[in-house]
Structure formats: C-alpha cells, structure tokens
Amino acid sequence: MRYFRDVATLARKDLLLELRARDTVPAMLLFVVAALVVFHFALPADSSDLAAYGLLWVALVFTALLGLVRSFSAERDQGLLDGLVLAPCDRSAIWLAKALAMLAFLVLAEIVALPAFAIFFTGIGWKTVAGVALANLGICAVGTLLAAMAAASRARELLLPLLFLPLAIPIVVGGVGAGVVEDGGRYLGLLAVYDAIFAIICWASFEYVVTE
C-alpha cells in the first residue's frame, strides 16, 4: 500500500513539473504531426495504405524517444536522482512513477497523432488502437529504464536511441502486424508477452541501474 502511495507521489511530481514547465508534451505533439506531414511527402502518390501504417509506427517510436530523452534531464541537471535514491522508498517505485508519467505524455501525444493519421492517410481499426495501447506499456517500461542508464553515461541523448531501437523491433513488429494482418490476435499476444516480460525485468533491475 505504502509502495503505491510512493509511486503516486513521485508520478505526481513529474506531472506537476510538466504542467508548470510544459517542455516535453508540446514538443512531442509538434514532432508527431510534423513527422506525419513529412511522411506524406515521403510516400509516392500510388503507395498503399499499408505503407502508411508502417510509417505511423516509425512516427510513434520516434515521438516516444523524444520524450524519453528528456525524461531524466531534470533529475540529472539538478542532481535530484541521488536524493531520490536516498529517499526511504523502494527504488523500483522511482522507475514505476517515471514510466507512468511517461505513459501519460505518450498517450496525450497519441490522442492527437492517431486522429491526425486517420485524417491525413487512412482510417484505423480498433486493433491498431489496441496495438498502440499495448505497445505504449512496453515502450514506457523499457524506455524509462534505458533512459536512466543513458543518463548515467557521458553520451546521454546520443546513447538512448542506440540502446532503445534494437529493443523496439519486436514492438514495431507486433504493432504493425496487429494493424495490417487479417488475424491480428497473435501480434497483440506478442506485444502482451513483451510487456509482461520486460516490465518484470525492468522492475527488478532498476535498483542496480541507479545504485552502486
């Protein structure tokens, strides 16, 4: 019970910071719309809707990356992470709170991105929406942990995409498959398995990333 109170407090801190500074979500919104416009011009006129589905996932993954790169910047600049690690709460609560805040940002970006995609390109079915919802969980779980890793390194912003993209390949396969294949259930299953496995690993290993 205490654990969830800690998580809620930490997540509220991130959301409040975003509400006051507004430096992540607007950037993600602008980026995803701009990316969709670029993709319109990148696709030849007679290309199929299936190609557009693929590009939607490229846009979503990179939008998430944009948010994740910033996710630990406040902690790093102010030396806040040391304070959080010393706080009398379970370390995994820091990860869970950060991932939840990230999830909120990503969902906000997608609330704009998916209708924009439907207007610009082609309509989307419930299976794509379900795929996006499941993929969000995996992206936030894995991405937050990797962002914490990257924040500890010298390369920082440069490093996160390199760490994240190979791990995002199963997410893209699952998401695109759920949208374009007739019987998309198996792909949603893949996403669910991915989420479950990586959420457990991230939850268990976050402590090692922030402590020595």
Interface residues with other proteins (CB under 8 A) are 145, 149-150, 152-155, 159, 162-163, 165-167, 169-170, 173-174, 176-177, 180-181, 186-187, 190, 193-194, 197-198, 201, 205, 208-209, 211-212
Contact 138, 194 (CB under 8 A): yes
Question: Which residue, 126 or 208, is less far from other proteins as judged by CB?
Answer: 208
Q: Residue 39 CB, nearest distance to other proteins (Å)? A: 19
In angstroms, give the least distance from the CB of 135 to other proteins: 12
Beta-carbon contacts of residue 170 (< 8 Å; ≥ 6 apart): 190, 194
State how far the Cα of 84 lies from the Cα of 61, in Å rounded to an integer: 28
Beta carbons within 8 Å of 60's beta carbon, 6+ residues apart:
32, 110, 113, 132, 135, 175
In the bound state with other proteins, the residue whose beta carbon lies nearer, of 61 and 116, is 61
d(CA 181, CA 206): 36
d(CA 91, CA 99): 13
| Closer CB to other proteins, 84 or 193, in the complex | 193
Can you give the three-state secondary structure of 152-185, one letter per residue? CCCCHHHHHHHHHHHHHHHHHHHHHHHHHCCCCH
Shortest approach of other proteins to residue 113 CB, angstroms?
22
- In this complex, which beta carbon is closest to other proteins, that of residue 64 or of residue 145? 145
Residue 102 beta carbon to other proteins: minimum distance, rounded to whole angstroms = 18
Give the nearest distance from C-beta 25 to other proteins in angstroms: 27
Nearer to other proteins (CB atom), residue 74 or residue 173:
173
* φ, ψ at 26 (rounded to 5°): -60, -35
In the bound state with other proteins, the residue whose beta carbon lies nearer, of 32 and 141, is: 141
Q: Give the Cα separation of 172 and 168 in Å (integer).
A: 6
- Report, in Å, the least distance between residue 138 CB and other proteins: 10
